[in-house]
Amino acid sequence: MLDEYLKILHNEFSELETDKSFRELTTVEIGGPAKAFLEVKSSEELVKALIVVKTHSIPYFVIGGGSNLLVSDQGVDKLVIKVATRSIVVEEGLVRAQAGTSLQELVDFSIKNSLTGIQKMTGIPGTIGGAIYGNAGAYGQMIGDHLEFVSAYDLEKQEVVILTREECGFEYRSSAFKTNGCVILDATFKFSPGDKESLSRESSEVLAMRLKKYKPGLKCPGSFFRNLFTSEVPKSALEKLPPREDTYGKTPAYVFIEALGLKGRRVGDVEITDFHGNLFVNLGNGTAQDFWDLAHLCYQQVKDRFGVELHPEVQLVGLPSISSEFTVHSSPRLYRGSR
């Protein structure tokens, strides 16, 4: 599909790479090649790339840190644009970060400057752009909470637009950017003053807890499935689960998976860790198909036993969705390689 556009892309971008493996671009270290790959280091370069793809109707896909992606073994037959723009500036009490800035950099910056609001999001990998796209969060804090506005390139209008927090449409692990065709350029936040020592302590406590789950060196895309709002889980399902304390009004996906004894289950070289039921890891030579099969197995067993549908938090790229529409087919492997 992309072959016909490669000449245009090479002419426009001298630094264009071809067949760049998604193993190098994702934390799970899985995925086939990006047919064409471009890393942009300024918002101007990013906008230029978006104008080129729009002008020539070139298929494209934007990534940040690749920490929430599972890409098919066949790769992506598109121009993959990695947003690597990095800066944090303060203007009139507002903090603006470019989309490619790592979330950790912003967390560290906020603590250093005694600003409260995202200190518990320490340890979440990835960029500001990716965090806003999926409304990343942890321990009761979410990236959207203190956001004032986002500047983005709107490919439909072909102009830079400003979206207020309301217009960003934040929901649990979701935002308007999943559907609005805008690419995030930068984000502006308004944090309240806080006490540096307390912020630092809170952040360290969270990091210590996180390190128990996300041991250094794990090849994973974060939690695989989204947690569920307890109010939306049928009572009959809750009754089948071991008693537990409510976590921010949610029932974690892992409790269903663990109740089924699936911790430690392995498909190919992908395994559910033996210490957390919603943590699927690449043991080294795992494939996207292994991942998908293991996730689908969990999805199906949870559905059969509890009547509850789990939905991936991870963005599946070039892979079929894991949802009820696929359970009617006898073999999900029929979808190998489909986009």
Ligand X SMILES: Cc1cc2nc3c(=O)[nH]c(=O)nc-3n(C[C@H](O)[C@H](O)[C@H](O)COP(=O)(O)OP(=O)(O)OC[C@H]3O[C@@H](n4cnc5c(N)ncnc54)[C@H](O)[C@@H]3O)c2cc1C
Stretch that binds ligand X, among 124-132, 158-166, 193-201, 257-265 (CB under 6 A): 124-132
Phi and psi dihedrals of 158, rounded to 5? 55, 50
The answer to whether 233 touches 304, Cβ cutoff 8 Å, is: no
User: Using the rule CB under 6 A, is 155 a contact of ligand X?
Assistant: no
* Start-to-end C-alpha separation, the chain: 12
CA distance 328 to 304: 13
The CB density around residue 109, as the number of other CB atoms within 10 Å, is 17
User: Using the rule CB under 6 A, is 126 a contact of ligand X?
Assistant: yes
The CB density around residue 192, as the number of other CB atoms within 10 Å, is 9
Q: What string marks each residue from 177 to 206 as x (binds ligand X by CB under 6 A) or -?
A: x-----xx----------------------
In angstroms, what CA-CA distances link 275 with 125, 215, 254, 281? 21, 11, 10, 12
Consecutive H or E run containing 315: strand 315-317
Q: What string marks each residue from 73 to 112 as x (binds ligand X by CB under 6 A) or -?
A: ----------x---------------x-------------
Stretch that binds ligand X, among 10-18, 58-66, 241-249, 257-265 (CB under 6 A): 58-66
Beta carbon nearer to ligand X, 116 or 282: 282
Q: What string marks each residue from 207 to 236 as x (binds ligand X by CB under 6 A) or -?
A: -------x-----xxx--------------
Beta carbon nearer to ligand X, 148 or 154: 154
CA distance 218 to 5: 37
By CB under 6 A, name the binding residues for ligand X.
27, 62-69, 83, 99, 124-127, 129-131, 133-134, 136-138, 177, 183-184, 214, 220-222, 315
